[in-house]
Amino acid sequence: MIVITAPTGDIGGQVLERVLDSGEAVRVVARDLSRLPEHVRAQAEVIQGSHGDADTITKALEGADRLFWLVPPAGRDYADSAEHYYLEFTRAACQVAASQGVRVVAVTSLGHGYQGQAGLLSAALAMDELFVAADVHYRALALPFFMENLLRQVPAMAEQGTWFMANASDRPLPTVATRDVAATAAALLLDASWSGQARVPLVSPETLTPEALAEVISETLGRTVHYRQTSLADFHAAMVRRGTSQAMAQDFVSMVQAQNSGIYDAEPHDPGTARTGFRQWCQDILKPAAHY
Cα 233 to Cα 222: distance, rounded to the nearest angstrom: 33
Q: Where are the alpha helices (DSSP H) in 101-153?
A: 120-133
- Helix ranges restricted to H, the chain: 10-22, 38-43, 54-60, 82-100, 120-133, 154-160, 178-189, 210-221, 232-241, 246-260, 278-281, 287-289
The rounded average pLDDT for each run of 10 residues, N- to C-terminus, in the chain (292 residues) is: 96 97 94 92 94 96 97 77 94 97 98 95 97 98 98 94 96 98 98 95 97 97 96 94 89 96 96 96 96 74
Chain centre to alpha carbon of residue 62: 26
pLDDT of residue 283: 97
Contact 60, 29 (CB under 8 A): yes
Residue 242's pLDDT is: 87
Q: Give pLDDT, residue 291.
A: 83
Domains detected in the chain: 2-147+175-201 (3.40.50.720)
pLDDT the model gives residue 74: 81
